[in-house]
Chains A and B, each alone.
Chain A
Amino acid sequence: MSIMTYRQALRDTLRTEMRRDPDVLLLGEEIGVFEGSYKITAGLLAEFGEKRVRDTPIAEEGFTGAAIGAAMLGLRPVVEIMTINFSLLALDQIVNHAAKIYGMFGGQARVPLVIRTPGGGGQQLGATHSQNIELYYAFVPGMKVVAPSNPADAKSLLLAAIRDDDPVLFLENLALYNAKGEVPDDDTPGEIGRAAVTRPGRDITVVAYSRMAAVALTVAERMAQTDGIDIEVVDLRSLRPLDRETVVDSVRRTHCAVVLEDDWLTYGIGAEIAATISDGAFDWLDAPVRRVAMAEVPLPYAKTLETAALPSADDVTTAIRQTLASVGRRAGKDIP
């Protein structure tokens, strides 16, 4: 077990996998000489050379397509798309090709492709560079989408993604790159499609993934002190396949839930989770499922407006208090 950042965990895992398997190669903009816009690939060009760490033109559709072809022929490409916003330029390659080749052509070729890409706002990058659009990929059968919230999961899920025979969108988050945490030393891949109860609790279930799963843990620890409540945090970790069982199981025990997401509320991932809870835990619910999401606007550039639009720890705290109030629990006062 070592303490390291999310960024370091990704970098180390890429290096280990490239050493382990000569078929693993990296493609992306500025990942070689410049060592990546967020320095995830630092040092890899020097170690593995231009053939396996390939700087590409600014042409997402082209290099994603090239990676799909390479994957079909047996390589294990790991594509870096600088931010998830630019993946829109490769949408056709991902949705219409990577996700469908295995099924459409009778299983003749698999597509063991990983697309690493960070989402997230809050960096004053403007509306077109601050989105959380992993939903677009989680929507598509044939894709797998994972979204680790801590360094340990970043490692275990990247190992799993690289070794998986299907296309995996590996969602990172700009706000998580410097997050530190314990990372196991062994190289056991995680299981794609398995959520984690990152904090067991009795009073309410908070479901989240990626950055918001980290926010949820912080809020849970704080509210245990300030409000004397015991929050269970379910970190989805994988958006497709979705571990509905863990979510339902948790809500059946706590009888109420708040779902967090960094994207927009309407038609969002929170809606899918709320429907999952309604399907699996209807008779266990003591309050309607509440969702916390971003304001329904293109994210403003101005810092104050940007902060106001993004879901915050305070928003989460308020939603939890409101839900608990509606089941007769008032913060710190009327708790048996």
Chain B
Amino acid sequence: MIDILMPRLSDTMEEGVIVAWRKKPGEAVEIGDVLVEIETDKATMEHEAYEAGTLHEILLPEGETVRIGTVIARIDDGREPLAGTPPRDGTSQGKPPAPATSEPPIPESGSAPATDPAPTEGGAATSPPARRPLATPLVRRLARDNAIDLNEIIGSGPGGRIIRADLDRALARSPGATGHSVPAASGGATTPNGGVPTGATSVPFDTTRQVISRRLTESSSSVPHFSVTAVADVEELLALRARINAELDDAGQGKVSLNDLIVRASAVALREHPGVNASYSEEGRGATLLHEHVNIGIAVASDHGLVVPVIADADRMAVSRIAAESRRLVGLAKDRKLSGADMTGGTFTISNLGMYQVESFTAIINPPEGAILAVGAALPEPAAVEGAVAVRHRIRCTLSADHRIIDGALAARFLSTLTSLLEHPLRIIA
């Protein structure tokens, strides 16, 4: 038995009107046959069958206005409902309709009889929480990655399956993810519906932007951040890099960037301070998860948005290999070819805005990691060297840390190790 649900036929549709049933109960239905005409907020559209069978019953008559996701008819495909398929409670705004078929409806096991008291708003809330909503594998993965509860989303795919389009709409609606919410105080600039203010252009989020928006809102609002900054004199580091690159150049190999050396130094420092290479866990009374591997994410600003590919086991890689891996990942990011695997498993992130001559900045932690390092440019500046003022290249490193698992002293010790490595760079490559 297949439930036919009120489909979502436009982006803004919340409910639809059943204009005309084009099949009668008992009639054979082929894939692609028009079942019903539905009026949306925009137009009247034909809704076709995704599956073949016999129209078993029409649950809602013509003229009825119903929310999307409501069961409006059933097709008998000769099969029992799948185990685990959640029954869909009707959320019709009208009274429970009389079945349009001459036969009494056959209640499916587990489904609420039509005579039940009117369900509460958003029928999913009345279902037992253990039920597994129908969703495509892509949706399940995205929901997992973005900590989205699928029970809160109404599916508009075949049989009420949650498809990516439903998830995108839910993400776009969720608080913190809207790009242009304007405070009420701004008055006349907004349209009555709180839409796009006059004189502004709305650029809808793509998936990458949605993910950034959701994750960083979550991190910024739920993780207690604090930040610590330290300065490192990188004269020796720059000299070492020049020497390494001269050698690599002779060998015909790709060059090593300052960032590659910082990745390596951070990895070594993280190995020394495992408490920073950690994540917060809600388990029990709360716990610190110490990661066995040091996997460093590098924030890459590609044309397609901010992405964070991960260099796995960076503490066990030579700088030249980190450089090669970093080049590969940045290349993939530019071509939008990073796989999920390239971007998962990070235990710490480095964001480097040095190329823009930024002196220092603070970054938002990339959850579920425990800390993120924001690296500024290596700029020449006056510095006290052995009691005299000299012009030295120095960089500022700012660590943002999750205070639930990392205290100020630990963050400071980590930064101290890191700056010491950067100032004595042979230890980075030793």
* Cβ of B11 to closest chain A Cβ, rounded Å: 7
Given that A322-B31, A322-B50, A334-B10 are contacting pairs, would A328 and B139 also be in contact in the complex, using a CB cutoff of 8 Å? no
Interface assignment of B390: CB less than 8 Å from any CB of chain A: no
* Cβ of A96 to closest chain B Cβ, rounded Å: 41
Bound complex: CA A18 to CA B305 (Å) = 54
* Cβ of B351 to closest chain A Cβ, rounded Å: 27
A283 and B137: CB pair below 8 A?
yes
B166 and A326: CB pair below 8 A?
no
Bound complex: CA A328 to CA B138 (Å) = 14
Interface residues of B (CB under 8 A from A): 8-11, 31-32, 45, 48, 50, 136-141, 156-158, 161, 163-166, 204, 339-340
Interface centre among B137, B157, B158 (most CB of A within 10 A): B137
Partner of A334, one of B11, B138, B158: B11
Closest 9 CB pairs of A and B: A328-B165, A283-B141, A286-B138, A286-B136, A286-B164, A285-B137, A282-B137, A326-B158, A283-B137
Given that A255-B164, A283-B140, A285-B137 are contacting pairs, would A326 and B157 also be in contact in the complex, using a CB cutoff of 8 Å? yes
A287 and B136: CB pair below 8 A?
yes
Partner of B165, one of A252, A282, A283, A327: A327
Partner of B340, one of A255, A283, A334: A283
Given that A286-B163, A322-B32, A333-B45 are contacting pairs, would A328 and B137 also be in contact in the complex, using a CB cutoff of 8 Å? no
Bound complex: CA A286 to CA B143 (Å) = 13
Please, which residues of chain A bring their CB within 8 A of the CB of B45? 330, 333
24 residue pairs A–B, Cβ–Cβ below 8 Å: A252-B339, A282-B137, A283-B138, A283-B140, A284-B137, A284-B138, A284-B141, A285-B137, A285-B138, A318-B32, A322-B32, A326-B158, A326-B161, A326-B163, A327-B136, A328-B156, A328-B163, A328-B164, A328-B166, A329-B165, A330-B9, A333-B9, A334-B11, A336-B11
* Cβ of A251 to closest chain B Cβ, rounded Å: 10
Bound complex: CA A334 to CA B47 (Å) = 13
Bound complex: CA A167 to CA B378 (Å) = 62
Please, which residues of chain A bring their CB within 8 A of the CB of B166? 328
Interface residues of A (CB under 8 A from B): 252, 255, 282-287, 318, 322, 325-330, 333-334, 336
Bound complex: CA A174 to CA B32 (Å) = 32
Please, which residues of chain A bring their CB within 8 A of the CB of B137? 282-286
* Cβ of A31 to closest chain B Cβ, rounded Å: 46
A328 and B32: CB pair below 8 A?
no
* Cβ of B171 to closest chain A Cβ, rounded Å: 14
Please, which residues of chain A bring their CB within 8 A of the CB of B340? 283
Known contacts A328-B156, A330-B45, then 18 further A-B pairs from the complex at CB < 8 Å, ordered by chain A residue = A252-B339, A255-B138, A255-B164, A282-B137, A283-B137, A283-B141, A284-B141, A286-B164, A318-B32, A322-B32, A322-B50, A326-B50, A326-B163, A327-B136, A327-B157, A328-B8, A328-B157, A334-B11
* Cβ of B206 to closest chain A Cβ, rounded Å: 11
Bound complex: CA A282 to CA B339 (Å) = 14
Bound complex: CA A329 to CA B157 (Å) = 10
Please, which residues of chain A bring their CB within 8 A of the CB of B31? 322
* Cβ of A328 to closest chain B Cβ, rounded Å: 3
Please, which residues of chain B bring their CB within 8 A of the CB of A328? 8, 156-157, 163-166
Please, which residues of chain A bring their CB within 8 A of the CB of B32? 318, 322
Please, which residues of chain B bring their CB within 8 A of the CB of A334? 9-11
Please, which residues of chain A bring their CB within 8 A of the CB of B158? 326
What is the chain A residue whose CB lies nearest that of B164?
A: A286
Please, which residues of chain A bring their CB within 8 A of the CB of B136? 285-287, 327
Please, which residues of chain A bring their CB within 8 A of the CB of B163? 286-287, 326-328
Bound complex: CA A42 to CA B165 (Å) = 56
* Cβ of A262 to closest chain B Cβ, rounded Å: 21
* Cβ of B13 to closest chain A Cβ, rounded Å: 9
Bound complex: CA A284 to CA B50 (Å) = 21
* Cβ of A250 to closest chain B Cβ, rounded Å: 12
* Cβ of A229 to closest chain B Cβ, rounded Å: 14
* Cβ of A306 to closest chain B Cβ, rounded Å: 22
